[in-house]
Amino acid sequence: MFDTLTQRFETVFSTLRGKGKLSEKDIDAALREVRLALLEADVNVAVVKTFLGRVKERALGEDVSKSITPGQQVVKVVHEEMITTLGSETAALVKTSPPLVILLVGLQGSGKTTTAAKLAKLLKHQGKSPLLVAADLQRPAAIDQLEALGAKIDVPVLVDRKGKAPKLARSALKEASGTGRDVVIVDTAGRLQIDDTLMKELAAIRRAVEPDEVLLVVDAMTGQDAVNVAQGFQTQIGLTGVVLSKLDGDARGGAAISVGEVTGAPVKFAGVGEGLDELEAFHPERMASRILGMGDVLTLIEKAETAFDEGQAEKTAKRLQKGEFTLEDFLEQFEAVKSMGPLQDILAMLPGSGSLLRQVEVDDRDLKRVEAIIQSMTPEERRAPKIIGGSRKRRIAAGSGTSPQDVNRLLKQFTETQKMMKTLAGGKGLPSLEALTGGRRMKR
């Protein structure tokens, strides 16, 4: 979502870092570019004005003017003020005696029902025992959808198709107490726009259950409209937080930057993909680093810890030290990397990767091709790829839907990887860039 904005920031920062001294004219020129970049990203005008005011005041201060590296200091100021704009600190769900009651509100089409299931799965992973409540009685399809999603993540869904939403929500509290459920997530009805009928129903549900959290689900791809919607819900219902859905889309990202500061309600979660496990806590510092092209190493580490089995990793490390790295290990690593999400997104979390990603061809289909080729091999071939001759290559290619040339290329890359692993295990220094990239062609 932030690709274009990140590129603009990288250009501005490159100019600032290249100057030994910064005059007020230099700072004004840089901030003018930042202003254009933010407005083009559909960031709220008032938010842009406030953000730039804070940055300029600090950039003209003594910390920057007396710094040995003034350009770096301005970049640091921009980063810190972007964190402030995004919410300063990670906002967790409130801690309360069970059950924790979460009311999800939002317009129709914002991704509210899917977010309810994602949140339930996330909390279940954290050791909670959630109950989903299908209180969107306006759309039978929404009830069907929530029931299907609940079954997929093994979380019960309370349904009463002929009842009233406030009564259903109130009965959910009794159900949770009776069955030992410590979180109740209420999926409410939405409309195409804010209207009196919707607000009266939401107000009635709120009175019925007195929720601990009222989270507004907004589509991050709707730009300024998302901010206007958030203001409307905050004024009429009152919010404790915001969930940004579809943050993985290709929109300009202005809603993500604006909504917290405009409403005063912190962004608590972000939907980063269509999968039910693709809902993350919103970390302002990490998001600011991503937007400014500084990477997000902490999130990358967390994804890696989830994807890689610790015991298996230790066994692989021991085999590496003995020089026993096989195609089976190769396949395991590929599958673990694939479970972390799209390769482009993973690489984008590395600091300074923006310019590299614009030069290097990164395609998830490469991973699928490698996986198919290795899976078409026999166990013996995976353990000892040297036995793979011409006839075996043709068989493997036919079985994986690839060509013998593709098989050859993979075997060559594997050989390079084996050499790299032996080099690392032997402490002989870093391998060549060609070995690391597997001979990947650069874009012209």
Q: Cα 158 to the chain's mean position, in Å?
A: 29
CA atoms of 270 and 220, how far apart (whole Å)? 9
Q: Torsion angle, CA of 59/62/67/71, rounded to 10 degrees?
A: 10
Helix (H, G, I), strand (E, B) or coil at 128: coil
Taking the whole predicted model, whether its pTM rises above 0.85 is answered as: no
From first to last of its 444 residues, what are the pLDDT tens digits of the chain? Answer: 577 788 888 888 888 777 777 788 888 888 998 898 888 888 889 999 999 999 998 888 766 666 667 777 888 888 899 999 998 888 999 988 889 999 999 998 889 999 999 999 999 999 999 999 999 988 889 999 999 999 999 999 999 988 899 999 999 999 999 999 999 999 999 888 888 888 899 999 999 999 999 999 998 887 777 888 888 899 889 999 999 988 876 556 778 888 888 888 999 999 988 889 889 899 888 888 878 776 555 566 566 656 556 666 666 666 666 666 778 777 777 677 666 666 666 656 555 545 444 444 556 677 788 888 988 999 899 888 889 999 999 999 999 999 999 999 888 888 887 776 666 555 444 344 344 344 444 333
Helix, coil or strand: residue 159 = coil
Q: What residues does CATH 3.40.50.300 cover in the chain?
A: 100-283
How would you label 332-357 residue by residue, b for 16+ Cβ within 10 Å and e otherwise? Answer: bbbebbbebbbbebbbbbeeebbeee
The correct answer on CATH 1.20.120.140 for the domain covering 3-86 is: yes
Task: State the Cα–Cα distance between residues 124 and 118, nearest whole angstrom.
Answer: 10
Distances (CA, A) of 78 to 20, 48, 227, 249: 18, 12, 22, 25
Give the number of C-alpha atoms closer than 13 A to the C-alpha of residue 437, restricted to the C-beta side.
13
Residues in Cβ contact with 45 at an 8 Å cutoff, skipping those fewer than 6 apart: 39
Q: What is the pLDDT of residue 444?
A: 33
Distances (CA, A) of 295 to 238, 287, 289, 346, 353: 34, 9, 6, 10, 7
Domain with CATH 1.20.120.140 in the chain: 3-86
Is 100-283 a CATH 3.40.50.300 domain? yes
Which numeric CATH code is attached to 300-437? 1.10.260.30
Task: State the pLDDT at residue 297.
Answer: 54
Residues of the chain with CATH 1.10.260.30: 300-437
pLDDT for res 204: 93
**Residue environment code for 77-110, b if the CB has 16+ CB neighbours within 10 A, otherwise e:** bbbbbbbbbbbeeebebeeeeebbbbbbbbbeeb
pLDDT score, position 49 = 93
Query: What pLDDT, on a 0 to 100 scale, did the predictor assign at position 122?
Result: 95
Helices and strands counted in the chain (H then E)? 22, 8
pLDDT of residue 300: 60
Q: Are 340 and 307 in contact (CB under 8 A)?
A: yes
Give, in order, the Cα–Cα distances in Å from 157 to each of 120, 174, 299: 11, 14, 31
pLDDT at 344: 60
| Nearest-10 crossing angle of helices 112-125, 140-153 | 20
Asked if residues 214 and 162 have their Cβ atoms less than 8 Å apart, the reply is: no
Position 432 scores a pLDDT of: 40
